[in-house]
A = this chain, B = another copy of it.
């Protein structure tokens, strides 16, 4: 596929192409950052007016019952669960990914404390998204029970990090920077061989790649709704806990929403049976409600078709960059092997930051990640083949003309 005309032809034959109409896409933008903040489903406009003007403005407190706000975390959790191989009543949408990691880690450590009480090592990855590492460090420091964090990296592969001291293995299914993807089933099986429990961070996986948590026999999972699921900026996150672990421990963020009968106003905490005990406090209903708009579009698409298109678009993107921009110092850091890749492609470039600012100024929005990494998210629900052509065309022009080499593109004010 080497011409723009070829790409247009591919778009015409794309079974997912009609879904693009379900999203609001600003004029003049090719959006390759749906893995940081997904775009707005058109239905969010109507839904937000309903929630804000009707449910809040008119329904007021009555909407906890009449608009069923109370059920939102579980109801939307069940919808989301269908995208990640979860059964009913295994997922709630609530709080943030960081906080859900804390709950999952607390539960996993407590289960191990009962089953394998001498274990004090939590394994994660040096290149994991920082908040995963920070939440582990916060818990270790807080518990003061001799836990330690062991990081896998180039020198210490996973196999070398696992041993009889490991209580928990906490990994991101798809790496936020490189796009590298683990085989969840085999890694989980390996961890279980060593007696470790697994926690999977699905931030860059849910809605992006096929995930089957139950088939993989994973132990816990958390993730984000505002990336590939298009839930809106900072929309609440999710946590998955299978029934075999749900009732074994009440996680320490035990607010009233996790109580078995929250409106009894009882003095003693009594954890709800099942997944509801992973709830804590009152959720931001407006942001929470809008998640449903994105979930509904995602559920219309066949996940295997999404994966097929994601791989095709990513292959195309890599091929076009490597052929059309071959005179420039771009180095692919994303695995080429389909089985080891999520849904984004990342290249290093010595002036990566400035190149990305120049791209954004031209309407090709990806993002920059330390160090030197240009990251391009591939979102099959609203990206087409010609979009990929045009994005690379703009990148080639910026590199050929060195138009990134301007002071305004080198100023580090960006925060995301």
Interface residues of A (CB under 8 A from B): 24, 26, 29, 31, 33, 36-37, 39-40, 44-45, 48-49, 52-53, 55-58, 60-65, 69-70, 95-99, 102, 106, 110, 126, 129-131, 133-135, 137-139, 141-145, 151, 177, 224, 226, 232-237, 250-259, 262-269, 280-288, 290, 360, 365, 367, 369-370, 413-416
Contacts and interface: CB of A to CB of B under 8 A. Distances in A.
Q: Which one of A26, A44, A70, A234 has the greatest number of beta carbons of chain B within 10 Å?
A: A234
Contacts of A369: 265
Given A250-B141, A255-B135, A269-B137, A416 B97 contact: no
Nearest to A125: B267
Nearest to A63: B233
Contact of A130 (B49, B256, B414): B256
Which 3 residue pairs of A and B lie closest in terms of their CB atoms, listed nearest first? A96-B281, A98-B255, A284-B287
B37 A45 contact: no
Contacts of A44: 52, 56-57
A24 B139 CA distance: 44
Contact of A95 (B95, B139, B367): B95
B60 A39 contact: yes
Contact of A280 (B96, B177, B290): B96
A323 to B, nearest CB: 28
A382 B301 CA distance: 47
A280 to B, nearest CB: 5
Contacts of A288: 234, 284, 287
Contacts of A57: 24, 26, 39-40, 44
A259 B134 contact: yes
A184 B96 CA distance: 32
B226 A282 contact: yes
Given A56-B40, A96-B95, A131-B255, A286 B282 contact: no
26 contacts: A31-B60, A40-B56, A44-B52, A61-B365, A62-B365, A65-B416, A96-B255, A96-B283, A97-B282, A99-B255, A130-B262, A130-B265, A133-B268, A137-B254, A137-B268, A138-B250, A138-B253, A142-B143, A226-B282, A232-B285, A232-B286, A234-B282, A235-B284, A235-B286, A263-B370, A286-B287
Nearest to A286: B287
A253 B415 CA distance: 21
Contacts of A110: 142
A67 to B, nearest CB: 9
A382 to B, nearest CB: 12
B33 A53 contact: no
A128 to B, nearest CB: 9
Contacts of A26: 57-58, 60
Given A65-B414, A131-B257, 8 more contacts: A45-B52, A63-B233, A96-B283, A131-B256, A232-B284, A233-B285, A235-B284, A285-B287
A64 to B, nearest CB: 4
A57 B382 CA distance: 14
Contacts of A45: 52-53
A370 B33 CA distance: 49
Nearest to A126: B267
A142 B252 contact: yes
Contacts of A138: 250-255, 269
